[in-house]
Amino acid sequence: MIGLIEQIKAELQAKSGDDLITAINELREAIHQQSPFKSEPVDFVRWVKNTEVTANDYNPNSVAPPEMELLRLSISADGYTQPIVANAEGNGMVVVDGFHRHRVGKECADVQERVKGYLPVVQIRSERVDREDRMASTIRHNRARGKHSVDAMSQIVVDLKRRNWSDEKIGRELGMDPDEVLRLTQISGLREMFADVEFSQAWEVGDDEVSLSDVEDEEALT
């Protein structure tokens, strides 16, 4: 084994630039395939060109400018201590978690130069390939840290309902109770969800008649 390691080191020393990074990725992947932890994404961190990693268009986590600057400072001073979580799509990768770490690696010149235009990436389990699965994974990561934008979360819940996810599945996959699913649906989606529903011009409640105009504002509906 020692002789093999020395041989590998000699071969790596003979490479440089993209060829060296490709060889290291291939070596890590070969070790990962033999690892007892190969079902865990963190077991294989690869370096991917930042041009091949794109942001998702639904991220529900927002970071204020001071915190964004602190993240930049952290990565500049301490290095990347957490990889970006992504999923393969086409010829590239789409961010699932690490939207802002991804931005720092692309937009901050000192960091970009230091990591040679690459980003550290782990890939979520291959069976989670659908967009809705990626969205659910993003929310789980954000909620586990207690960080998410309510409005963006609401829009994702409505989007998942459009994709025929039941309230029960949404709650199970996103770690929400039924009341939370309902509240998030109501925030941005209630009027839209019922846009195609035809109501009679009056509802009868016992002996009293309630005009539709009395309840058509959103506050009354919710």
Dmax of the chain from CA atoms?
92
At residue 145's C-alpha, the angle toward residues 139 and 151, to 5°, is 45
pLDDT at residue 164, rounded to an integer: 80
DSSP state of 47: E
Q: What is the mean pLDDT of the chain?
A: 79
What radius of gyration, in Å, describes the C-alpha atoms of the chain?
24
DSSP 165-214: --HHHHHHHHT--HHHHHHHHHHHHHHHHTTT----SEEEETTEEEEGGG
Residues paired with residue 92 on neighbouring β-strands, in sequence order: 89
Q: With left for phi above 0 and alpha for psi between -120 and 50, is residue 90 left, alpha or beta? A: left
Boundaries of every domain in the chain: 1-34, 38-129+140-145, 149-222
pLDDT at residue 129, rounded to an integer: 66
Higher-scoring residue by pLDDT: 125, 68: 68
Helix (H) / strand (E) element for 120: namely strand 118-123
pLDDT at residue 46, rounded to an integer: 97
Q: What confidence tier does 52 reach under pLDDT thresholds 50, 70, 90?
A: very high
Give CA–CA dist 13/15, Å, rounded.
5
Is pLDDT above 80 for 1? yes
pLDDT at residue 88, rounded to an integer: 87
Higher-scoring residue by pLDDT: 150, 56: 56
Give the model confidence (pLDDT) of 162-199 as tens digits.
Answer: 878 788 888 877 777 778 778 777 775 555 554 544 54
Indicate the class that CATH gives domain 38-129+140-145.
Answer: alpha beta
Asked if residue 106 lies in contact with residue 59, where contact means CB atoms within 8 angstroms, the answer is no
Average pLDDT over residues 131-156: 68
Give CA–CA dist 194/186, Å, rounded.
11
Give the model confidence (pLDDT) of 85-142 as tens digits.
Answer: 998 888 899 998 888 899 999 999 999 999 999 999 999 877 766 777 777 777 776 6
Q: What confidence tier does 62 reach under pLDDT thresholds 50, 70, 90?
A: low
pLDDT at residue 210, rounded to an integer: 38
Is pLDDT above 70 for 151? no
